[in-house]
């Protein structure tokens, strides 16, 4: 599985809360490893349903410098059992609600909501998030609006959002979001990835992600 821009954005943008963190659908382990790199005091549980992705995540975690603080679990989040409450829950979830599926099953799991619906994800967050914890995720624009409305019905409120544009001439394609159980004035942000020249990155994008890209 490729390292995607969505995961890099979320892992770099999300606020980090001290204590225990849950990464739902860790995939290759990218976000869990990024968070462990950012803060050496945290402990991360990384849950992944797809077995090959889980094995890849374990390999990547073991190869990182932070393996003693990340534990990977091969499980659906619906069947994941824990007595913990987490200060941060983070997810780069599947998001295609109704669309033609790719032929490979691992790609389907990563991109479609069949195995992890938005309602299941929200229910999990409500069940496992500390009262003062935060939940961070990234979604396309249309799916984000649907998710925000569903979350509000479960008393999970949007506190912060960042619209991500590919370049200055295109509309936002992704929304980075932060939720909590506390209703607040929503903090609005914008991030543009590239300048008008292809593969020329904005200063803001470089500043956000430079600790994770060798090319920067």
The architecture that CATH gives domain 5-209 is 3-Layer(aba) Sandwich (3.40)
Under 8 Å between Cβ of 15 and 178: yes
Distance of alpha carbon 175 from alpha carbon 139, whole angstroms: 6
Q: Kindly report the pTM of this predicted structure.
A: 0.90
Tokens of 37: 């790199």
For the segment 135-147, the average pLDDT, to the nearest whole number, is 96
**What's the confidence (pLDDT) of residue 94?**
85
pLDDT tens digits, 74-128: 999 999 999 999 999 999 998 645 544 445 544 444 444 457 899 999 999 999 9
pLDDT tens digits, 32-56: 999 999 999 999 999 999 999 999 9
| Domains of the chain, residue spans | 5-209
State phi, psi for 165 to the nearest 5 degrees. Answer: -105, 140
Distance of alpha carbon 65 from alpha carbon 68, whole angstroms: 8
State phi, psi for 179 to the nearest 5 degrees. Answer: -120, 160
As a whole-number percent, the residues of the chain with pLDDT over 90 amount to 86
């Amino acid at each position: 599985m490729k390292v995607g821009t969505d995961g890099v954005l979320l892992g770099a943008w999300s606020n980090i809360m001290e204590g225990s963190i849950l990464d739902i659908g860790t995939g290759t382990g990218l976000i869990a490893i990024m968070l462990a790199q950012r803060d050496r005091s945290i402990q991360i549980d990384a849950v992944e349903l797809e077995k090959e992705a889980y094995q890849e995540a374990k390999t990547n975690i073991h190869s990182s410098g932070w393996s003693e603080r990340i534990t990977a679990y091969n499980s659906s989040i619906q069947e994941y059992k824990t007595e913990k409450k987490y200060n941060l829950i983070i997810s780069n979830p599947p998001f295609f609600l109704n669309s033609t599926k790719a032929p490979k099953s691992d790609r389907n799991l990563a991109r479609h909501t069949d195995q992890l619906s938005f309602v299941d994800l929200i229910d999990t967050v409500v069940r496992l998030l500390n009262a003062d914890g935060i939940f961070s995720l990234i979604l396309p624009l249309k799916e984000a609006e649907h998710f925000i409305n569903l979350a509000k019905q479960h008393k999970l409120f949007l506190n912060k959002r960042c619209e991500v544009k590919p370049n200055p001439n295109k509309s936002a394609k992704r929304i980075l979001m932060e939720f909590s159980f506390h209703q607040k004035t929503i903090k609005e942000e914008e991030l543009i990835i590239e300048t008008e020249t292809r593969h020329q990155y904005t200063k803001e994008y470089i500043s956000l992600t430079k600790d994770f890209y060798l090319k920067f």
